[in-house]
Structure 1
Amino acid sequence: MPIQKLADVELWFDEYGPDDASEIILSSAMGYSGLDGYPERLSEAPTEYKVFTIQARGFGRSSRMDGIPAEGWLAQWADDVVAFADAKGIDKFVYTGASHSAGIGWYIAVRHPERLKAFVSVVGTPHDRFGVTDSSEGRRESIRARMEGDVAAMRVQFEKLGGWLHDDETERRRERDRLIDGAIESAMARDDDESQINQGMPFPEAKTNDELAAVLRTITVPTLMLAGMRDGIVSPESSLRGVMNVRDSKAVFFESEGHYMTREIPERLIREVRLYMDEINGTARPERRPIIDHTKVDTV
């Protein structure tokens, strides 16, 4: 992965897809898995978009920080994405991300809406407000477990994120176990500085769900929310709140999915992204509906 130098930071990034693609996709997170999952696979057919994945400052080979950014991690990472776009000569782009990566997108939508053609949030709508707004309980517990080497507690948190499975989903259970084993291994391999970064909840100034809804109503960017009904950290209610308050937005709910949709069903997510971009661009195929001859409808 190459390095992009900005004013006060160096960001490790990778790029995929053709330079003449119909859409430019930016995404930023603590790390990416390569072409094994979303969003990198948006560079392949059927979408074939240009994709830049940016490792957020504080992680991996990107610049480290001496402390918490003055405006908070999510706001800082959002500004970094826009600065990255400036450095690459990208005016408007589509931002997508999952979980904390989606949190970055919400801040771009509020702080830099003119730069977004669209925003696709995957399992990442702002959390419900239950009195604590600085971070989720799950994130705090994950940090504690990592710092104390408590692998069992970390597994509990990762299981909760994924959501429950039916007893007959045996093959999926095996796949989920492998996914969680890998997630635990990656988490334990991060150094202490990385492991203690707590990005917090988006918009912590909103102390109640009503105040959060008011923030969401200020967003004017075309927004697609992809949500898992079994998600153990981002509730379906939070996604419903999002689609009820972000004007002209769209939400798709997957009953069978939890917080791991980007790894477990990337193909389904990509189909939804492609449809949404076709809708925005006016190139979506209109649904064919049968013509009803109302003169022949029986009436009572």
Structure 2
Amino acid sequence: MILYKTNEEVELMQISALLVSDTLAEVAKILKPGITTLEIDRIANEFILDNGAVPSFYNYNGFPFHIITSVNDVVVHGFPTKDELKDGDIISVDVGTIKNGFHGDHAYTFIIGEVSPAVLNLVKTTKESLFLGIKEAVVGKRIGDIGAAIQSHNEKQGYGVVRDLVGHGLGKDMHEDPQVPNYGRKGNGLLLRENLVLAIEPMINMGKKDVFLDEDGWTIRTADGSPSVHFEHDVCIKKGEALILSNYAPIEAAEKQNSNLNTSYY
């Protein structure tokens, strides 16, 4: 069932989405070599609770942590651990919050220190493709238009567009209809109508598109061990131009202020 939101519900959803953005900005402030992803999980959870919300992911289908931290070849659903981040790591941090009965859910990939030009280009291209997909998220377009834009931009660079995991509708449930693949054909799929809220989230591998499920039953890794990048925004379908409910500006500001993070791809 497709659930279209009222304008009032969209405003409530934006509060949740912006709290996710602020949480990711807090994460951007503390990322450095030597910090553990378990420590990042603790700090993010405290920030969410201090702001009158609860983390969406904790105990969701049994997920045992408050946020998702996916490092290097982990595509999504990475467990926070006691392992320390190192110079040259890339880390996708995915955060969800519930406030006023609605979910916010988006992600951002950070670069710790120096990486190869190839990795910088993967991060840059994936982030660009998110916004190309969002340009298609308007009344009168179709789901396939979003996926086609993301797929085309990444495959031109030779990257693998993950098929096994997709974006989704968002609302009172974290995963609502419809699914939003990062691949597709223009003009195909669900016709987009006003006030449908979507989590659009390209997951792009430097190598092949294939992935596998790790033995913990959650962590998804690239089959060939290549790096993977994940960006995600919460988007409301509108006429002419999509309304992005989340906000990368505070994340990027904190990222640029942290000398441990590499923003040279901007």
Same fold? TM cut 0.5? no
Give the helix-richer structure, 1 or 2: 1
- Per the normalisation by structure 1, the TM-score is 0.27
Larger radius of gyration: 1
- Could you state the TM-score of these two structures normalised by the residue count of structure 2? 0.29
Greater RCO, CA 8 A, separation 6+: 2
Higher strand share: 2
